[in-house]
Structures are given as structure tokens and as C-alpha cells.
Amino acid sequence: MKKYAVGFDLGGTTCKVGFFETSGKLLEKWEVPTDKRDNGEHIIPNLAENIKSYLGGKKISTDEIEGAGIGVPGAVTPDGYVNRCVNLGWNDKRALGEQMTALCGFPVKVGNDANVAAMGEYFMGAGKDSQSMVMVTLGTGIGGGIVVDNKLIVGFNGAGGEIGHIHVDDDETETCGCGNKGCIEQYASATGIVRIAHRMLLGESIDSPLRAMEHISAKDVFDQAKAGDELANKIADEVGKRLGKMLAIVANVVNPEIFILGGGVSKAGHILIEKIRPSFEEYTFHACKDTRIMLATLGNDAGIYGGVGLVLS
């Protein structure tokens, strides 16, 4: 094993870059603006230039780099092809790993960003030393990543871990962004929580500080719930009930050692787990009832850690 590895976490605004020892120790991190002009053609050459320039400044040869991993906001097939990334301006299918490897001078592996973040938590975050793990990223939408025995379950069409679109409610009348009805994303993403809050503010007559707010956020709901507000707790219960059911279903499929909750919504903290646990235990198979549910620990750095995780897996 060589001494260094690199993790890239490519987003629509910037690409986070982390320079690591292969032990998993983060030495330095920075960001490179994502230049989306010309259908995003400059993004990859810019990244390769940036890391080569960094290594040059440090007098580190590319021979000392074990490799790099990059997370991208789109579907990645098991053979490393990226199939469109609308956020980056890429409309074609491209062999991103091959292209970056050629430009960087060391091997580069590619993964979907939610999957790569899961890899980060698995190798160096809350999932460290676990045999298998499912990460649930609760952001504007819901993403996921599944790691079993050091390997991501990427899926035949790159849709492994697309757990945000698991059906959890037969009575939903509104449509999810994906076109289906009753997906967990409609209840437990940041936008989903706000949707449920508005629905319950209309349907319930209880008073609540939430009623005085012009724009309610998911954070407001959990802050008020923690402060003891009855209606905020009812909203959080509804969210937790659906999320617990979804985790229960996922446990019946892959039976992971642990679940890890990440993304902005997970900043609510342990109250989220308290709201999930009863419904998780109600719906899951008896052998899975003790599965641990934990909070992510790497925050926004999960992606760069996961890039290095790809190298080491």
C-alpha cells in the first residue's frame, strides 16, 4: 500500500478535495469551484490540474499515491460509467474513472455521491469496524448507501441504495418528485417534513409556536419538539413512524449491522432515533429488532473520506 490517497466529492457548486494518508488520516482539505460551462467539459480537467499542482507544490510524486475516489451526483454503473449528471451539465454516458485516471496519473474510482458518503462513514465514521451498514442521507431528498463486507451495493443500474423511493404509505394522494405516491422521501426529507408539518398544522387544532412562523423548516420542527411542544412532537412522530417502517423494510432485505443517519435532517440528533425506534421494531423481522441506529459523524466530510474508502475497498 502506498502512502497517500485522494478523495473528491463533486457537487454542482464546488468539488471538495481531501488529501489523506492511506491509514485514513485526513492531512488537508480544500474546495475547487465547479465550472459548469460548455456542458461541464472543464470540470474534470480542472480537478486533475488542481491535484497535480497541489502534489507538485508538496514535491509528492504521483507514484506515492495509491489512488483516488470520486463521488458524483448521479447514477454510476458497476463498471464505473456515469450516466448523465444534470447538476454538472453532463448529458452523456462517460467512462469517468478512465478519463480521470489518464489525466491524474494514478487510478481513480467512481461512485454515486450518496454511496461514496456511505463508504466514508463505513470506513472512518460511525460505521467503522462494522460488518455491514446502511446509510440514510436525509437532505432535501433522501439518498442512501449500502456497504456489506467492505463493498458497496451499487446495483445493476446504479440504483442500489435508492431507498428514498421506498413505498411506505398506501393512502398518500400527493405525488413524489419521482412520479410515484407514498415514497419515504415525501415524509422524512427536509422538504417532506415541512410538508407533513403544514398538513398537520391544518388538520390539528392544538396551538404551537410553529403557527407563528412564516417559513417552517425541518429544523424548526425538531427544535420545537425538543423544547416540548406537543404539535411539533406529533409531527416528528409521524415522520419517525414512516422512517422506522422504511428502515424495518430495508433490514428485512439486507439485515445490516447498523443504520447510520446523515444529511441535514440528522442534525436534529438523538430525538430522531427516539422517534424512529418504536416503528422500526414494530415492522421489522424479529431477528433484526436489535439493529443499532446511529448518527453519522463525518458531516460534510463523509464524501472525501468515502472517496478514499473506494480506493481501500
Contact residue for its own copies among 75, 124, 302, 304 (CB under 8 A)? 75
CB of 168 to its own copies, least distance (A): 9
Contact residue for its own copies among 157, 175, 204, 269 (CB under 8 A)? 157
Query: And the C-alpha cell for 266?
Result: 440528522
Whole-number Å distance between alpha carbons of 307 and 69:
4
Contact residue for its own copies among 3, 86, 287, 300 (CB under 8 A)? 287
**Residue 180 interacting with its own copies (CB under 8 A):** yes
What is the helix (H) or strand (E) element at residue 200, kind and residue range? helix 190-203
Closer to its own copies by CB, 7 or 71: give it. 71
**Residue 80 interacting with its own copies (CB under 8 A):** no
Closer to its own copies by CB, 171 or 174: give it. 171
**Residue 206 interacting with its own copies (CB under 8 A):** no
**Residue 175 interacting with its own copies (CB under 8 A):** no
Task: Answer yes or no: are the C-beta atoms of 184 and 285 closer than 8 Å.
Answer: no
For residue 62, give the 3-state DSSP assignment: helix
**Residue 189 interacting with its own copies (CB under 8 A):** no
**Residue 282 interacting with its own copies (CB under 8 A):** yes
Whole-number Å distance between alpha carbons of 244 and 223:
20
Task: Answer yes or no: are the C-beta atoms of 312 and 17 closer than 8 Å.
Answer: no
Contact residue for its own copies among 2, 52, 167, 219 (CB under 8 A)? 167
Q: What Cα–Cα distance (Å) separates residue 274 from each residue in 119, 221, 311?
A: 25, 15, 35
Contact residue for its own copies among 187, 259, 283, 305 (CB under 8 A)? 283
Contact residue for its own copies among 23, 91, 252, 300 (CB under 8 A)? 252
**Residue 141 interacting with its own copies (CB under 8 A):** no
Q: From 35-43, 108-116, 157-165, 190-198, give the range in contact with its own copies by CB under 8 A.
A: 157-165
Task: Answer yes or no: are the C-beta atoms of 279 and 244 closer than 8 Å.
Answer: yes
**Residue 136 interacting with its own copies (CB under 8 A):** no
Contact residue for its own copies among 16, 109, 165, 241 (CB under 8 A)? 165
Task: Answer yes or no: are the C-beta atoms of 188 and 164 closer than 8 Å.
Answer: no
Whole-number Å distance between alpha carbons of 242 and 265:
15
Closer to its own copies by CB, 65 or 152: give it. 152
Closer to its own copies by CB, 208 or 291: give it. 291
Contact residue for its own copies among 6, 117, 250, 312 (CB under 8 A)? 250
- Contacts for 183 with CB less than 8 Å, ≥ 6 apart: 164, 165, 166, 167, 168, 176
Q: What Cα–Cα distance (Å) separates residue 17 from each residue in 78, 150, 251, 302, 307?
A: 23, 22, 33, 11, 9
**Residue 151 interacting with its own copies (CB under 8 A):** yes
**Residue 138 interacting with its own copies (CB under 8 A):** no
**Residue 135 interacting with its own copies (CB under 8 A):** no
Look up cell 428485512; give the residue.
Answer: 252
Site for its own copies in 102-131 (CB under 8 A): 131
Nearest to 10 by CA among 41, 45, 47, 42: 47
23 secondary structure, DSSP code: T
Enumerate binding residues for its own copies (CB under 8 A).
Answer: 75, 78, 131-132, 146, 148-149, 151, 153-163, 165-167, 169-171, 178-180, 245, 248-257, 282-283, 285-288, 291
